[in-house]
Amino acid sequence: MRASATNSGLGPVFLITHEFYPRRGGIATFAEEIARASANLGYDIEVWAQSAPSAVERTDWPFRLRRLPLKGSHDLTCQLQLARELIRHRRSLRRGTVYLPEPGPMMSMMLLQFFRAFRPRRLVLTFHGSEILTFSRSPLRRWLAGQLIRRASRVSTLSNYTQELLLSHFPEAGDKIFLTPGALRSDFAVVPPRRAEEKDRIVVLTVGRLHPRKGQLLTLQALQMLPAEVRRRLEYWVVGAQSKGSYEASLRAAAAVHRDLVVRFFGNLPDEELSSIYDRADIFAMTSVNLERSVEGFGLVYLEAAAHGLPVVAHAVGGVAEAVLDGVTGLLVPPERPAQLAAAFEKLIHDPALRRQLGSAGRDWALRNCWRESAEVLFTP
């Protein structure tokens, strides 16, 4: 039987996020899919999200969407703008459940949590990884985050790794913490099996924002370590938008070192084009690293690649081992071991049967979780 706002005791659910369509990334996907699954379960859900151009807006959501007059960053100005919106709508929020699936709105709620007028009926939080380290480094923010967790009815993480990280810094979450693992996007639910075919070149693909933590440069350098006759059989495809800084320039400069390895930069692609890119690739690589206070808590993109039957090469960091099964759906390599990383690529390049074996197992593995179950965990009283 479907849950509903009238029988769940939740009242309306307000999902408040700075990471939402048309913004891309794991948190944006998580927020959208949890909202969709909750609405399909019958919950009365309204998403509050950052501003977006009207030209890219969609009208097919199964939930209400309120665009807020803020850009959706984590700076103090944005925190105060969101706090102002929360104050304006405090009467509505008090009647329902406020769900904060990422750190931006958590920081705004930290400012208001001590005023009874702004406390919702229920508060639900989801942590992804890096924000745990960010919140814990400052004594004041550590205390504020701890108080917010104490006030929450339920707290979730996407992986066991992130759960352990949260409990090590915020043990007050111990009696209310649950796993809400990520799953495939709704439009990735059914992916046909890959056809075996002979190709002149083997394509290694990375999908992710261009940032040092995502490890594109490490993948490129590992491929460049391969013998020249192997490099000539490869293409490295890089999909993703430039983050702040000069990382893309560094990538392009590194790509020019060995011109016998073809490197193609695709920029950001819409989902319909990205699906075709996955289907044309042979190996997926995202060799993330833990960088300062930024960690890879899970990685939904690994599931997307696996759903397309791609064997995965990744670093064994953070929660990646919960998204990629070493030796079953891909190959995990310790970080800072470039020779081992190159060897993992060479093994897959020379062994098409192993690529098919890992890719086939990956399709089944990627389908094991569903958003409906995670939404039920979050909101079932």
Residue where a domain terminates, one of 151, 180, 209: 180
User: Are 176 and 196 in a shared domain?
Assistant: no
Asked if residue 381 belongs to a domain, the reply is: no
User: Are 88 and 234 in a shared domain?
Assistant: no
Whole domain around residue 250: which residue ranges?
A: 190-366
Complete DSSP assignment for 98-126: EEE-SHHHHHHHHHHTTSGGG--SEEEEE
Residue where a domain terminates, one of 180, 214, 244: 180
Cα diameter, the chain:
68
Complete DSSP assignment for 23-69: S-SHHHHHHHHHHHHHHHTT--EEEEE----GGG--S--SSEEEE-S
Q: Which two tokens stand for residue 19?
A: 């990471």
User: Are 109 and 210 in a shared domain?
Assistant: no
Into how many domains does the chain fold? Answer: 2
User: Are 37 and 60 in a shared domain?
Assistant: yes
The pLDDT value given to residue 192: 67
The DSSP call for residue 12 is S
The pLDDT value given to residue 227: 95
Asked if residue 30 belongs to a domain, the reply is: yes
The pTM assigned to this predicted structure is 0.90
Distance in angstroms (rounded) separating the CA atoms of residues 130 and 41: 30
Asked if residue 376 belongs to a domain, the reply is: no
Distance in angstroms (rounded) separating the CA atoms of residues 64 and 59: 10
Q: Is the peptide bond before 334 cis (omega within 30 degrees of 0)?
A: no
Distance in angstroms (rounded) separating the CA atoms of residues 163 and 212: 24
* Rg of the chain on CA atoms, in Å: 21
The DSSP call for residue 151 is H
What is the domain-level CATH number for residue 229? Answer: 3.40.50.2000
Each residue's pLDDT tens digit in the chain (381 positions)? Answer: 344 444 456 789 999 999 999 988 889 999 999 999 999 999 999 999 999 988 788 888 999 999 999 998 888 899 999 999 999 999 999 999 999 999 999 999 998 999 988 889 999 999 999 999 999 999 999 999 999 999 999 999 999 999 999 999 999 999 999 999 999 888 775 566 666 666 789 999 999 999 999 999 999 999 999 999 999 999 999 999 887 778 999 999 999 988 899 999 999 898 888 988 999 999 999 999 988 778 888 899 999 999 999 999 999 999 999 999 999 999 999 999 999 999 999 999 999 999 999 999 998 899 888 999 999 999 987
* Residue positions counted in the chain: 381
The pLDDT value given to residue 187: 75
C-beta of residue 87 within 8 angstroms of C-beta of residue 112: yes
User: Are 110 and 225 in a shared domain?
Assistant: no
Asked if residue 371 belongs to a domain, the reply is: no
Asked if residue 219 belongs to a domain, the reply is: yes
User: Are 173 and 250 in a shared domain?
Assistant: no
Reported as a single tens digit per residue, the pLDDT across 260-302 is 999 999 998 988 889 889 999 999 999 999 887 788 888 999 9
Distance in angstroms (rounded) separating the CA atoms of residues 172 and 153: 12
First to last CA, the chain: 15
Helices 352-366 and 300-307: crossing angle, nearest 10°?
120
The pLDDT value given to residue 290: 86
- Smallest Cα–Cα separation from 72: which of 19, 7, 16? 19
CA 370 vs CA 93, 183, 297, 373, 375: distances in Å: 28, 5, 18, 6, 9
Asked if residue 212 belongs to a domain, the reply is: yes
Reported as a single tens digit per residue, the pLDDT across 163-189 is 999 999 999 999 999 999 999 888 775
Residue where a domain terminates, one of 180, 208, 240: 180
Distance in angstroms (rounded) separating the CA atoms of residues 17 and 74: 11
Distance in angstroms (rounded) separating the CA atoms of residues 132 and 156: 12
User: Are 148 and 13 in a shared domain?
Assistant: yes
